[in-house]
Structure 1
């Protein structure tokens, strides 16, 4: 028996990295996983690997999100779990940043979560049950040099998640955030994580002395998505090897 037997779960941005790790774990726990990604090829590839369904979805487009949710509702009948994982960042000092990049960061990291959650909640409310797990970031809790707008967006979704938890508790819905620390993914490499000196410095700063792996985040998400966490809502859990402790 898996923790998610019989449950249908949507994971956004699941074509690679942390999202793929989450999709793999939820499937291993018995969930029917809907893999969404703006890159259709990676969505289909991950879906095939986990025995799920792959759907190209642009979380910045409400029309794209609505079409995905309607397809899932029509084909699978219900939505038990929404994992808001899709994200993007461009690192650099705020004073040197381009407002066009602000728009993209906010569109993906903040509006993407608003779009998917707004589309899925009515389905969960009608069911009288469901859980939303949003991948935020410790940058949204304590700030992160070079990630000012990203930190703002992630802080926004932490506050948003707490509010949703309050508003939908009466409907049997839970909502929580998982905050990764530095995690060894392609996105991390693209924002400087492929620099050996940076990797070494981060590893030394993390009390458990290693970077996170997608599976570390996936394990926390799977727990929060399961009935074992039925009495946990409005919480923010850091999965960072002890890098932040607040």
Structure 2
């Protein structure tokens, strides 16, 4: 969109990747509303960026709609909505508590639905906008040890692409939806998974720096794309495995073994460093 920047909302922005995405949007001239289920974390991020903040549980449609209405009131219109909030728990689905399975599905899938629908309603009135959904490579292929998480991310991509198709069929060209699907990101959360065999596949490729994912977000903001894998070659690998699932499933034990080897090596280094994550 041309002219002065309008408002932007980032969910799950109390820290980590969400905080960096919020900083990017502030840098680009948007008035940003930082949201997180942890209100104190949202406020700390917002104070550091000169942004607004709100405690929002993305599972609650009313709270999501209230965040949308607030940014429209503050900025005049909504230009960008980033669905970043997410929850990951590992292990076979049958070993997880029902509440854990429900939490992942509701935050990762329903939260994306709630945010996207809320944003579209405002963007249709304003003449356009861009929804960016932070998904995962787990949304593109099978991920042992993360079955429910993968299901929630497959749902997020399926919803995003289908809603984009609905927009185009309705003749709405001014609203874009882009899914950014990163591989494992080296954050404190992933550091905590070094000893978790169920997380091995996240370590089977090159671990990403959060800044690399932020750069991917920057690129899709400038040039919307329905699906962007980070890195691109891992996206191709995931798509091939999904296209020939029998072959992909047979190859997974090798990838898991590679990930376990990386976990053990990094865990040993971490212990030598006194338990601190590697840079």
When normalised by structure 1's length, the TM-score is: 0.86
1:79 maps to: 78
Mark the runs of 5 or more structure 2 residues left unpaired by the alignment.
240-279
- Alpha-carbon offset, residue 197 of structure 1: 9.4
Aligned partner of 1:189 among 191, 194, 200 = 191
Query: Map of 1:35-74 to 2, 5 A cutoff?
Result: 35-74=34-73
The aligned residue for residue 20 of structure 1 is 19
Give 1:106 deviation, angstroms: 0.7
Deviations along 1:172-199, one digit per CA (max 9) or x if unpaired, are 1011100011001233234x1x449999
Q: Secondary structure at the match of 1:182?
A: coil
Asked if structure 2 preserves the Cα contact closer than 8 Å seen for 1:22 and 1:215, the reply is no
Gap change, CA 1:124 and 1:201, over 3 Å in 2: closer
TM-fit CA distance, 1:211: 1.5
| Shift, 1:139, TM fit | 0.7
Name the larger-Rg structure: 2
Aligned-partner Cα distance in 2 for 1:187–1:200 = 14
Alignment of 1:236 with 2:227, yes or no, is yes
Q: Is the 2:68–2:119 Cα contact (8 Å) retained in structure 1?
A: yes
| Alignment match, 1:95 | 94
Change (3 A) 1:149 1:75: same
Match of 2:213 among 217, 221, 232: 217
4+ long deviations beyond 3 Å:
194-203, 240-244
Distance 1:106 1:4, change over 3 A: farther
Higher helix share: 2
CA-CA distance at 1:115 after TM superposition: 1.1
2:104 corresponds in structure 1 to: 105
Please give the per-residue CA displacement for 1:90-130, whole angstroms capped at 9, x wherever unaligned.
10112212222111111100111111112121110111210
- Cα distance change on mapping 1:200 and 1:166 into 2, 3 Å: closer
Alpha carbons 2:146, 2:198 under 8 Å: kept = no
Paired residue secondary structure (2:177): strand
- What number of residue pairs does the alignment pair up? 233
**For residues 197 and 110 of structure 1, what CA distance do their matches in structure 2 show?**
25
Pick 1 or 2: higher relative contact order, CA cutoff 8 A, min separation 6.
1
Please give the TM-score of this superposition, normalised by the length of structure 2: 0.77
- Partner secondary structure for residue 88 of structure 2: coil
Aligned mates of 2:116, 2:201 — CA distance in 1: 36
3-state SS of 1:60 partner: coil
Alignment partners' CA distance in 1, 2:4 and 2:149: 35
